[in-house]
Amino acid sequence: MRQFTLAQWVSIDQTRNRYRYYRIELGEDLWGDLCVMKTWGRIGWSPRHKLYWPRSERELTRLIQGTVSRRIRHGYRVG
């Protein structure tokens, strides 16, 4: 299974005790199908994961662009 990190963000605000990260990766599942894995959580803690199997290139583009814009709106920075 090959994985490629598309983007990684962090959101650190010491005054609010906020130490978060978010990563989106593109890869293949065990059967060779294209999948997108989102990983997030508090820095230093066990991560959470969610997998998506886009049905088309258009759906893949929408998923990635939506994720990028949401992370930026929520105060994440490339890290």
Residue of 29, 47, 42, 40 whose CA lies nearest to 71: 40
Q: What percent of the chain has a predicted confidence (pLDDT) above 90?
A: 86
The pLDDT of residue 4 is 85
Rg of the chain, C-alpha, whole Å: 14
Strands (E), the chain: 3-13, 18-28, 34-42, 48-52, 77-78
Q: What percent of the chain has a predicted confidence (pLDDT) above 70?
A: 99
The pLDDT of residue 2 is 72
User: Model pTM?
Assistant: 0.84
The pLDDT of residue 1 is 60
